[in-house]
Amino acid sequence: MAARPEILFPLFAGLESLDGIGPKTARNFEALQIETPRDLLFHLPHNLIDRTRRDTIRGLDFPAMATVEVTIGAHQAPRTRGRPYRVQVHDSVQEFQLVFFQARGDYLQKILPTGQNRLVSGKVELFDGIAQMVHPDYILRSDEGDTLPQVEPVYPLAAGLTQKLVAKAASAALARAPDLAEWIDTALIAREGWPDWRTALSAAHAPESLADLSPASPARQRLAYDELMAHQLTLALARARQRRKPGQASRGTGALQARVLALLDYAPTGAQTRAIAEITADMAAQRRMNRLLQGDVGAGKTLVAFMALLTAVEAGGQGVMMAPTEILARQHLESLTPLAQAAGVTLTLMTGRDKGVERAAKRDDVAEGRAQIILGTHAVFQKGVEFADLRLAIIDEQHRFGVAQRAALAGKADNVDMLVMTATPIPRSLALAQYGDMDVSVLDEKPPGRQPVTTALVSTARLAEVVQHLRKAIAEGRQAYWVCPLVEESEVSTLTAAEARFAHLRAELGEGVVGLVHGQLPPAEKDAAMARFVAGDTKLLVATTVIEVGVNVPNASIMVIERAESFGLAQLHQLRGRVGRGAAASTCLLVYEAPLGETASRRLKLLRDTEDGFRIAEEDMAIRGAGDLIGTAQSGLPRFRVADLERQTGLMALAQSDARKLLADDPDLSSPRGQAARVLLWLMQQDRAIRYLSIG
């Protein structure tokens, strides 16, 4: 692998190589994830202190920072231990006190001699009506006033670190920042009015006003762009490398697709037709497809996926579709069987539950090509499963599979086209950050006939009314879900457990009417309970979030979510998507425990007011932040120090097009700008990208 450029060596030395930092201080910095001078460069101030001089503290809105010249009055040493030492002072108008705890009187007499003038700067507060400055930050002689900074940056701290220490360390790191060749397109820099890298760093560490702390300030915008550009360059390199791998052209005839379309009693939406066309074109190309199909709840992803699988079969090969749970894999089997029969293709289900003779027979069918479309869990890619001619692999519910599993699947099927599906609408900036290496198709229309779902907020105090409402609906032949947050009652938690709620509802509504499904049930029991509900034998299914994704029972038209305030927005949106699939008008009742906190109330009201998953996702990100939304560790999403995914979507999109264009013009980054971009990748610790470059 290539070696780190020498120009960056000083930034990647140990922290202890900076003046005044010993082993103990270096350990304290680790709490801020700062291990090298390079990390300090991107540890930016989050506030500032204005130390502009004023004549008097009178008229300030306390507590407030103040810098004033004072005349020193009497010293009052404490009479008893533990009491503070006070010094009376007077500015041009008002008298106040300087207060010191555990201070030595002789030292204070020396720096604050009675009768003389001093410049003091610090926080002034009122205590029992008396203005006090406790432990001033600065005490200077009048002739030293020029050494006081007008504005002082305030850094985020951790235990054992002080502002002075962090500021001194940051300034030592800045002194090491080299002049680096420009990696951003010169036209873009001119258009945005951004400073060069080093100037941007210096400016970001020396803000002169609150505007300089804003993500929109030119210096911060430039530094955020550098981070996003390095990340997008890594994804673009991964994409380019993927595209260089030989794929195989799978050209469909359209014959099988036509049979299925003839069977449908509705026309696909414009979004579905567009997505099918994009996927078909990708599969027909010589290079390997790597596409994300993103759709809102109920937007009809399964049909698009099946059309893609048919293209693989039309081209003489096999297609596989992998779901995260057995419930979902079985459900795909049920919903696709009539379509497969119409097309005249065979469907095979493979799960971890296949044993002995049955498993061997299925493996033979797959290996000899008799199995044309294979549905299953990750069992599909276990050792010993060999495909005759696999053309397309589809992963359903991508967020349940980590980056590593996606890679393992790609390894098993080296030149196979990949389609990744998710029913979790992702805010645009996150989609770019997480899937920037992929091409994206979005389903943003609902198929005709999907009923809108009426959503209402109900407090737990009205639970009896909810049960009464269910009793009536069940008598009319309707079915319902009741989702609980936890599996069993625990003393610590007031959240009602699924098992207790099941017992209660069975007592209320009658034996045989209510079923139960949760993650801790053995798979066979879980499937049996689901099957009874699908068949309509049980009318009410009490469940945990096992049913969040993909479960499809058209007759179910009521969704009750208990303690809705304890769920995330995306999860609530997914759960609500389980109803509104049939002809009946559907309702979703969000049952909450009063009083609702401000954030919870904002979440539930948004859900009540809109069914647009993309709007919900943007709002969810604004409330929770990007990292929480997807679980950073699992997603392979980097921790950005300066860039703000929630507010800088436009910047991320710009970085993506810039990175892709740079690679198109200079695939091995050998031009002067390409060489500068290599330095950026090292600076931003994008080792993966450097690996891609060395492999070529």
CATH of the domain at 76: 2.40.50.140
Task: Give the residues across from 483 on adjacent strands.
Answer: 543, 561
Q: Which pLDDT score, from 0 to 100, does residue 632 have?
A: 38
Per-residue pLDDT, 627: 46
User: Does 329 score more than 80 pLDDT?
Assistant: yes
| Residue 163 structure tokens | 């502002």
The answer to whether residues 530 and 387 belong to one domain is: no
Pair 547, 580 in one domain: yes
Are residue 200 and residue 344 in the same domain, yes or no? no
pLDDT > 80? residue 596? yes
The span from the CA of 548 to the CA of 636, in Å, is: 24
Helix, strand and coil percent figures for the chain, each rounded to 5: 45, 20, 35
- Closest by Cα among 10, 49, 397 to 213: 49
pLDDT of residue 25: 92
What's the pLDDT band for 402 if we cut at 50, 70, 90? low
Residue 683 lies in a domain: no
Number of folded domains that form the chain? 4
Please indicate, yes or no, if residue 75 is contained in any of the structural domains.
yes
Distance CA 325, CA 592 (A): 29
| Shared-domain flag, residues 474 and 526 | yes
Q: Has residue 539 been placed in a domain?
A: yes
Q: pLDDT tens-digit profile of 416-431?
A: 898 988 877 777 667 7
| Helix, strand, or coil (residue 292) | strand
Whether residues 279 and 321 share a domain: the answer is yes
Give pLDDT, residue 629: 44
pTM recorded for the entire structure: 0.68
Listing DSSP states for 378-429 in one string gives GGGGSTT---SSEEEEEEESGGGS-HHHHHHHHHHTTT-EEEEEESS---HH
C-alpha–C-alpha distance, residues 174 and 38, integer Å = 9
The string of pLDDT tens digits covering residues 336-345 is: 999 999 999 9
- As given in the structure block, the two tokens for residue 60 are 């300030």
483 and 559 in contact (C-beta within 8 Å)?
Answer: yes
- What is the 8-class DSSP label of residue 312? H
From 193-207, 323-337, 516-530, the region with the lowest mean pLDDT: 516-530
Q: Who contacts 554 (Cβ-Cβ below 8 Å, separation ≥6)? A: 581, 582, 583
DSSP-derived 3-state class of residue 542:
strand
Question: Helices (DSSP H) in 521-647: which residue ranges?
Answer: 523-535, 569-576, 598-609, 613-624, 626-630, 632-635
Distance CA 68, CA 81 (A): 30
Residue that is last in its domain, among 443, 465, 489: 443
- Check if the beta carbon of residue 584 is closer than 8 Å to that of residue 479: no
Rg over CA atoms, the chain:
32
- The secondary element (H helix, E strand) that includes residue 507 is helix 498-509
Q: What is the span of the domain harbouring residue 93?
A: 52-148
Q: In Å, how far are 111, 203, 358, 585 from 163, measured between CA atoms?
A: 22, 18, 68, 60
Domain boundary among 107, 131, 148: 148
Pair (542, 584) in one structural domain: yes
The count of C-alpha atoms lying within 13 angstroms of the C-alpha of 82, restricted to the half-sphere facing its C-beta, is: 0
Condensed to tens digits (0 to 9), the pLDDT of residues 70-113 reads: 999 999 999 888 889 999 999 999 999 999 998 888 999 999 99
Q: Is 101 exposed, middle or buried (0-12, 13-18, 19+ CB in 10 A)?
A: exposed
Q: Evaluate if residue 314 carries a pLDDT over 90.
A: yes
Q: How confident is the model at residue 400, as a pLDDT?
A: 55
Cis preceding-peptide flag for 522 (omega within 30 of 0): no
Q: Does residue 489 lie in a domain region?
A: yes
Q: Which two tokens stand for residue 622?
A: 């604004």
Regarding whether 422 and 295 lie in a shared domain, the answer is yes
Q: Which helix (H) or strand (E) holds 54?
A: strand 53-54
Taking 50 as the threshold, does the pLDDT of residue 401 lie above it?
yes
- Determine which helix (DSSP H) or strand (DSSP E) holds 322, and give its type and residue range: strand 318-322
Question: The tokens of 427 are what?
Answer: 């805010």
3-state secondary structure of 572: helix
Residues in contact with 615: Cβ distance below 8 Å, sequence separation at least 6, in sequence order: none
CA 262 to chain centre: 41
HEC profile for 69-133?
A: EEEEEEEECCCCCCCCEEEEEECCCCEEEEEECCCCHHHHHHHCCCCCEEEEEEEEEEECCEEEE
222 domain residue, yes or no? no
Q: What is the pLDDT of residue 409?
A: 62
Among 369, 365, 435, which residue's Cα sits nearest to residue 403?
435
The amino acid at residue 117 is N
Return the H-helix or E-strand segment holding 308.
Answer: helix 301-314
Instruction: Give residue-wise pLDDT tens across range 111-159.
Output: 999 999 999 999 999 998 899 999 999 999 988 888 888 889 999 989 8
* Residue 275 and residue 330 in one domain: yes
Cβ pair 45, 213 in contact under 8 A? yes
* Residues making up the chain, counted from first to last: 696
CATH number, domain at 570?
A: 3.40.50.300
Residues 261, 120: one domain?
no
Q: What percent of the chain is predicted at pLDDT more than 70? A: 90
The model's pLDDT over 609-653, given as tens digits with 9 standing for 90+, comes to 888 877 777 777 666 655 444 443 334 456 788 887 767 878 888
Q: Residue range 666-690: average pLDDT? A: 89
Query: Of 107, 127, 148, at which residue does a domain stop?
Result: 148
Spatial CA neighbour of 481 closest among 432, 531, 430, 553: 553
Instruction: Give the count of beta carbons closer than 10 Å to the beta carbon of residue 404.
Output: 10
Q: Does residue 407 sit within a domain? A: yes
Tell me: do 22 and 72 sit in the same domain: no
| Chain segment 513-539, per-residue pLDDT in tens | 999 887 777 877 887 888 888 888 999
Q: Is the pLDDT of residue 488 over 60?
A: no
Task: Quote the strand ranges of 460-599, DSSP E.
Answer: 479-483, 514-517, 540-543, 556-562, 586-592
So what's the pLDDT on residue 353?
83
Q: Do residues 27 and 58 both lie within one domain? A: no
Label residue 546 by pLDDT band (50, 70, 90): low
How far apart, in whole angstroms, are the C-alpha atoms of residue 170 and residue 166?
6
Instruction: Give the model confidence (pLDDT) of 21-78 as tens digits.
Output: 999 999 999 999 899 999 999 999 999 998 989 999 998 988 999 999 999 999 999 9
Q: Quote the CA–CA distance of 401 and 422 in Å, as a whole number.
A: 11
Helices (H) and strands (E) in the chain, counts: 25, 22
Is 406 a residue whose pLDDT tops 70? Answer: no
* 151: CB partners within 8 A, 6+ apart: 48, 49, 50, 51, 52, 207, 208, 209
In a domain, 673, yes or no: no
Among 377, 475, 572, 542, smallest CA distance to 530 is for 542
160's torsion region: left (phi>0), alpha (psi -120 to 50) or beta?
left
Same domain, 437 and 457: no
Q: Looking at the domain assignment, is residue 661 inside a domain?
A: no
User: Could you give the CA distance from residue 14 to residue 37 in angstroms, rounded to a whole number?
Assistant: 7
Average pLDDT, the chain: 86
